[in-house]
Amino acid sequence: MSSIDDQRELPTFNSAGLAPAIAQDADTGEVLMMAWMNQEAWEETLQTRRVAYYSRSRKALWRKGEQSGHVQELVEARVDCDADTILLKVRQAGAACHEGFRSCFFRRVADDGKWEVCETRLKSPDEIYGH
């Protein structure tokens, strides 16, 4: 018996059961963050259209924005040529970064080789997590 479920394709997860997932603002093209997905996060994200990752530090499903409200609505999911990297086009509520920046990539390498903040902070981390 075949069903729609049987036809679904899965990314290739690595030996730890994970694949890197890049979140990109669907409207502006800004790269917001990179995190990891396991199969559960992948399936929940496609079903709910709200992005979930796998937290390697907490070893648990991480529903992005669950604490902060800074959720990511899925617009489109893509895979790369090897299907082992995921690209998520999302609508980001507020700041993607726990440091209060829109994107986690808020520092560029300056001419002297040091990091240099090149984006504007939207919120302080305290404001995000209500401390």
First to last CA, the chain: 53
Strand partners, 109: 115
**Helix (H, G, I), strand (E, B), or coil: what is residue 17?**
coil
- Looking up tokens 């995921």 gives 86
51 belongs to the binding site for a copy of itself (CB under 8 A): no
In angstroms, give the least distance from the CB of 89 to a copy of itself. 9
In angstroms, give the least distance from the CB of 59 to a copy of itself. 17
In angstroms, give the least distance from the CB of 121 to a copy of itself. 11
Q: Which residue, among 120, 85, 82, 95, has the nearest Cα to 25 in the 3D structure?
A: 95
Point out which residues bind a copy of itself (CB under 8 A). 4-5, 7-9, 20, 22, 24, 28-31, 33-34, 46, 76-83, 85, 87, 97-99, 101, 104-109, 112-115, 118
